[in-house]
Structure 1
Amino acid sequence: MGRILRTALRRSLNQVRHVTPVRPGAATGLVAVVYADVEADFGMLAPPVALHSPAPVALAASWALLRETLVASGRAPRAVKEAVAASVSRSNTCPYCVTVHSATLEGLTTTTFEDVEAWADRSSPVRPFPVEQLPELLGVAVAFHYLNRVVNVFLGDSPLPANAPAPARRFLGRFMGAGARGDRPPGTSLRLLPAGPPPADLAWSSGHPVLGDALARVAAAFETGGSRALAAPVRDLVLDELAAWDGTPPGLSRAWVTDAVADLPAEHHPAATLALLVALASYQVDDDVVAAVGGDDARLVELVSWSAFAAARRMAGLLHRATEV
């Protein structure tokens, strides 16, 4: 069953929407290096990472973000990190990530972490773990506020095929749990990206020996891609909306985004609409919104990545400020 699951998960690259990911056999350069690292450390070529491959730097940034927060060994146990990942994913209505990380947690332990999950979804300000674990768990929150948004745009609701047998979820947990065990030294992904200036809003990570450096590199990479994919007035609008946002989902109506983009020149409306939806309500993104943007796959990946990471930074800041330390 493990081999079947690995094959099924790898084939789920066929489920990627809107862009065409680089196939493993065709990967070269930075894409090939990242793919090899993902396979080695994660046990499989995870589609939420591989879908970034039309934009190689965004691919490297997405992997560095996931690896140095969730995968790398550190002060917080992997099971606690998986509880944060699953909780954040539920709060963002990302069923794909909920399935993967709930199953991984079940494959690692029978312990439940309701208090950690309540902290991660901001329903409780109480910090139910040692303070030295806070940067790593905030890092996991950043990673999954980012990945949930990207997955909601580019992937479906489940990593398993629609015709998967009933026991598949149980075996998924065993497979993912087995892959999550063992030590993985932090910092190996840093070589993939140049150093970047430490962002002020991520200062909570600065005392960690690797995490602060990793997040600075990731932030610089996404910022560079965003500046290619989105005009400055659009980026400014998204940042202004995020600065005023308390993290509450805006609901099912999209009237708010129509109002928000109204003062921009008409040629910016499609990209601004997609960027705002990715940031504040990724579950509202549909085929028409993506198609209206146009452009090549690399631009679309960079647009979504920049918007998702901007929102992830905001959400981690809200969580940090709400935490009782």
Structure 2
Amino acid sequence: MSRLTLAVLGALGNTQVKYVRPVRFGAAQGLVAEVYRQIERDFGVLAPPMTLHSPAPAVLAGAWSMLRETMLVPGHVDRVVKEAMATAVSVANTCPFCVTVHGSTYGGMTGNSVETIDDPAVTWARASVHADTAASAGIPFTAAQAPEYLGLVTMMQYLNRMANVFLGEVPLPPGTPRLALGGVMGVLVGLIKSAAGTEPAPGRSLALLPEASLPAELGWAAAAPTVAGAMAKAAAAVEEAGSRAAPAQVRDLVRAELAGWRGEPKGISRAWVDHLVAALPTARRPAARLALLVAFASYQVDKRVVADFRRTDPSDATLVELAAWSAMAAARRIGEWAAPSDSAEPGYFEP
């Protein structure tokens, strides 16, 4: 392994993250330290999509629990299929960081490119990002598999948005030569594959957060207790964080827009955001602008949007909490329409 690759790997978990300062592994305490230990053990590497959450410990725990219990824990769906689905969702969401990581992991596990895969699960995952195509797509899973399929898609919808805001296009620290990417991804995929071989035990992340009820729109998870627990606890932690970070007017505006949204793009400019926030008091507009962009066009969040918000509250925790609340609100909406509406009917899930 080259010295450049070693240096990049050592810096990846912290220096990759924009706008906030993640907690270093050696400085982590309490809940953050426990989550970090689980991540290194079960995922193989302290990944930036997780460390970016560390200024908000409960949100970090919720994000990790969703990832672990839907993606990493062995269940009714093969890990390779999940990596292919994660790549498809990330492509649809224009999340280059996640496309690189999950596409490379799929390739490392199979020796194939995810672009060549012809699998109903991938077709369905891609279709799930829009309510109309989700309704017309075939259901490639059984009732037993449904919580993992829907949990994986919902979790990736959340993580794609957070990665688009806080991470760069590829898993490299700023200023690192692009030529290092191949070596870094080779090592990262090797670590992820090694961790996957240990088959993490179901439910170990659930002790990180207090008990919580499963929201109605996440009811599709109920058949799998560990997935249901992860989704319920993450939703509760993020909702509590959002109540601190985002004024009620902002949350109400985002919810109102999500209620009528079916996955259609909002446009290549940000004029739609300016129109929506114009009715709010001036002091509320930066938070509303950021929250709306995270939910509907996370790839459009830039330094100016973040700087405007931080003038009202400069803390890292508040920035992570507001972004997480908005990302989770959108993910819950998408998971809701992706779930078969008549899933309780006998035979509905027959492939």
Structure 1: distance between partners of 2:340 and 2:231: 18
1:113-152 alignment, distance < 5 Å: 113-122=118-127, 125-152=137-164
Specify whether residues 287 and 118 from structure 1 end up closer, same or farther in structure 2 by C-alpha distance, changes over 3 A only: same
Structure 2: distance between partners of 1:320 and 1:22: 36
Match of 1:154 in 2: 166
Match of 1:205 in 2: 221
Among residues 180, 184, 202, which one is paired with 1:186 in the alignment?
A: 202
Match of 2:93 in 1: 92
Match of 2:77 in 1: 76
Deviations 1:50-84 (A, max 9, x none): 11111111111111111111111111111111111
Match of 1:258 in 2: 274
Give secondary structure in 1 for the equivalent of 2:145: helix
Structure 1: distance between partners of 2:49 and 2:140: 29
Query: How high is the TM-score relative to the length of structure 2?
Result: 0.87
1:30-69 alignment, distance < 5 Å: 30-69=31-70
Structure 2: distance between partners of 1:298 and 1:75: 36
Tell me if 1:303 matches 2:308: no
Give secondary structure in 2 for the equivalent of 1:310: helix
Structure 2: distance between partners of 1:121 and 1:311: 16
Match of 2:130 in 1: none
Deviations 1:166-197 (A, max 9, x none): 74345554443333333111100001100111
Specify whether residues 167 and 198 from structure 1 end up closer, same or farther in structure 2 by C-alpha distance, changes over 3 A only: closer
Q: CA deviation at 1:207?
A: 1.3
Structure 1: distance between partners of 2:75 and 2:8: 30
Structure 1: distance between partners of 2:150 and 2:7: 32
Match of 1:106 in 2: 107
Specify whether residues 30 and 174 from structure 1 end up closer, same or farther in structure 2 by C-alpha distance, changes over 3 A only: closer
Q: CA deviation at 1:125?
A: 1.0
Structure 1: distance between partners of 2:154 and 2:6: 27
Q: CA deviation at 1:30?
A: 1.0
Match of 1:227 in 2: 243
* 8 A contact 1:142–1:316 mirrored in 2: yes
Specify whether residues 209 and 19 from structure 1 end up closer, same or farther in structure 2 by C-alpha distance, changes over 3 A only: same
Deviations 1:228-261 (A, max 9, x none): 0011111011011011100122121111111111
Structure 1: distance between partners of 2:74 and 2:2: 24
Structure 1 unaligned regions, length at least 5? none
Specify whether residues 238 and 2 from structure 1 end up closer, same or farther in structure 2 by C-alpha distance, changes over 3 A only: farther
Count of matched residue positions in the alignment of Structure 1 and Structure 2: 325
Q: CA deviation at 1:127?
A: 2.2
Among residues 265, 270, 278, which one is paired with 1:249 in the alignment?
A: 265
* 8 A contact 2:105–2:189 mirrored in 1: yes
Q: One-letter code of the match for 1:224?
A: E
Specify whether residues 166 and 32 from structure 1 end up closer, same or farther in structure 2 by C-alpha distance, changes over 3 A only: closer
Q: CA deviation at 1:128?
A: 2.6
Give secondary structure in 2 for the equivalent of 1:43: coil
Structure 2: distance between partners of 1:254 and 1:166: 32
Q: One-letter code of the match for 1:315?
A: I
Give secondary structure in 2 for the equivalent of 1:210: helix
Match of 2:232 in 1: 216
Q: Larger deviation: 120-129 or 312-321?
A: 120-129
Match of 2:11 in 1: 11
Give secondary structure in 2 for the equivalent of 1:211: helix
After superposition, the CA RMSD in angstroms is 2.1
Query: How high is the TM-score relative to the length of structure 1?
Result: 0.94
Q: Larger deviation: 315-324 or 86-95?
A: 315-324
